[in-house]
Amino acid sequence: MESVQVILNAISNAVWGWVMIILLVGTGIYLTLRLGFPQFRFFRHSWRVILGHFDDPDDEGDINHFQALSAALSATIGIGNIAGVATAVHWGGPGALFWMWITALFGMATKYTTCTLGHKFRTIHPDGSASGGPMYSIERGLGSKWKALAIFFAICALITSLGTPNLVQSNTVAVSLQRDFGIPPFLSGIVMAAVVGLVILGGIKRIGRVASRLVPFMATIYVLGALIILGVNYQHIFPAFGEIFSKAFTRSGEIGGFFGSAWIFTLTWGVKRGLFSNEAGLGSAPIAHAAAKTKESVREGVVAMIGPFIDTIVICTLTGLVLVSTGVWHDKFEDVIEGPYLEELTVYSGPVTPQNVKTKEPYSGLLSIQQGKPEGNYSIFHETGTVDDYTFEKKDAAGAYQKFSGSVMVEDGMISRAQTSGENLAIVGKVALTGAELTAQGFSRGLPGRWGNYIVSIGVILFAISTALAWSYYGDRSIEYIVGSAGVIPYRIIYVIFIFIGSIVTLNLVWTFADIAMGLMAFPNLIATLFLSNKVGQWTKIYRNVKHPELK
């Protein structure tokens, strides 16, 4: 299984590597130029559409413009806004946030195009419900000879829906609730599965109604918390922006010598996390926007392009500013590293720094540990820096950590897996945090007491539930396309069961496989988008010059 995990990790890194970055960002740049900068030209108009100025309840479809946007935002406003930004800043420094903005800016043009196509080529069923998305754009826009590519997209979307937005979200919620409130994971799984199940069994209409209330509520709580922190630390806001801009193009020593010495590394992390957060180009959002009640497909594209703006330029920016203005992004915090996370550590003989770690040979041999400390001078490196003030500890029968004494085998810098499982070993020390834990530290430092931590915990729960709701719809439209409507109800039942499973077990293989599937969704979607962009250009001109001449 370890070998399979290594292979899947390599495939995932390749799928989400430079080819993906160039394709997604390059497509956004091309569409921006080809369509006449729609993200700027239509920006003000889009808010009028979202607010219902052009709603017609007699139009075909399932939900109105605001509900469609809320459903799509349910998928994109998720753990990525909390954990993804922290990961980008942890690895790429403050400058990574700048590249997230660039990704979102051009991603608005991509989302405008893909969602216009998804709505234009949708299918209206006899009962009045709608089905759409890249699979329909490919088959009906490019022709039936491309159906195999459409099926490939639907399969990737189906696999993704059961993995990253489902298992990962429920596991994150379970871990967060257990850490902050002592709630057993299985109980979290039961409640989350029940809540999601009650909503998704009602289809997109119920998802749209719930999302239109849940998304504004959860975004307001999170945004208000961030704004309060920035208000308290107002004197650090402009310096924070200064760090973001200056370190977007220069080396950033704080994030670790070799790892962060080139600005290209910062760019890579910013673009990767930006794309992962707003999903522009992956082809998921067109499935939700295809259900909108409107005769004008361009109008729905105009609504859709606001998604990356809200998700990345607003919410991700607030998270990033909290991390930078409070200074937690380069600080170290007490943490316990155990289980599979010990594999992220590398042991070296003698001192190491981020600047010289690549020139050092990892240690191999036996460590003699007395009361938690190794005999001799050894350094433990974790991701972008060393673990400070570390001790070796193990759990006793009551589950409490005690200082470890004994021997530990190290092979090529890695602590022996057999020994760690036998002794329940853990490394306790100060490390540079990443993910939701780093964001929680930023909010905790910015707000008194545990209020900051509670805001992040509530955000994690609500964002995870909203993501699970939206992606269930993406999955059931995909299974419907592949096998017909008979597969929808069984899929929804399986989806709910997977939510519970994700809360109680760690499924690294499934998560990695789902990440690969999510990345592979982009390729068929981008092929259809580029081939059909001329049509979108024609429809855009008609919409702008004929339907809304005030937009010329």
Mind listing the pLDDT tens digit for each residue in 333-359?
888 888 777 878 899 998 888 777 878
Last residue of a domain, one of 431, 464, 499: 431
Model confidence over 27-82: pLDDT tens digits?
999 999 999 999 999 999 999 999 988 888 888 888 888 888 888 887 777 767 78
Q: What is the pLDDT of residue 480?
A: 94
What's the whole-number mean pLDDT along residues 378-401?
Answer: 85
Give the pLDDT score at 26. 92
User: Which single residue is written with the structure tokens 């009640």?
Assistant: 293
Same domain, 423 and 497: no
**Local confidence band at 256 (pLDDT 50, 70, 90 cut-offs):** very low
User: Do 12 and 25 fall into the same domain?
Assistant: yes
198 lies in the same domain as 322: yes
Please write the tens of the pLDDT for every residue from 160-184: 888 777 787 788 788 778 877 788 8
The confidence band for 429, taking pLDDT boundaries of 50, 70 and 90, is very high
* CA dihedral over 474, 478, 484, 488, signed as positive or negative: negative
Say if residue 356 is in the same domain as residue 466: no
In this prediction, what percent of the chain has a pLDDT beyond 70? 93
Domain for residue 552, yes or no?
no
| pLDDT of 527 | 93
Give yes or no: residues 268 and 253 share one domain.
Answer: yes
Q: What is the span of the domain harbouring residue 362?
A: 333-431
Chain centre to alpha carbon of residue 298: 27
> In terms of domains, do 213 and 316 share one?
yes
Structure tokens at 38: 């729609």
Structural domains in the chain (count): 2
Q: Is the pLDDT of residue 362 over 70?
A: yes
Contacts of 73 (CB under 8 A, 6+ apart): 211, 215, 307, 310, 311, 466
Are 353 and 450 within one domain? Answer: no
From the number of C-beta atoms within 10 Å of its C-beta (0-12, 13-18, 19+), residue 420 rates as buried
Which CATH number does the domain housing residue 305 bear?
1.20.1740
Does 86 fall in a domain? yes
Q: Between these two residues, 253 and 160, which has the higher pLDDT value?
A: 160
Boundary of a domain, candidates 431, 455, 489: 431
The domain boundary residue, chosen from 381, 412, 431: 431
Is residue 537 domain-resident?
A: yes
Both 186 and 65 in one domain: the answer is yes
Reported as a pLDDT band with limits 50, 70 and 90, residue 509 is: low
pTM of the full structure: 0.87
pLDDT of residue 87: 82
How many CA atoms are closer than 13 Å to the CA of 86, on its beta-carbon side? 25
Please tell me whether residues 206 and 296 are part of one structural domain. Answer: yes
Asked if residue 395 and residue 482 are part of one domain, the reply reads no
The answer to whether residues 425 and 476 belong to one domain is no
- Is the pLDDT assigned to residue 263 strictly greater than 70? no
Within this chain, do residues 493 and 392 fall inside the same structural domain, yes or no?
A: no
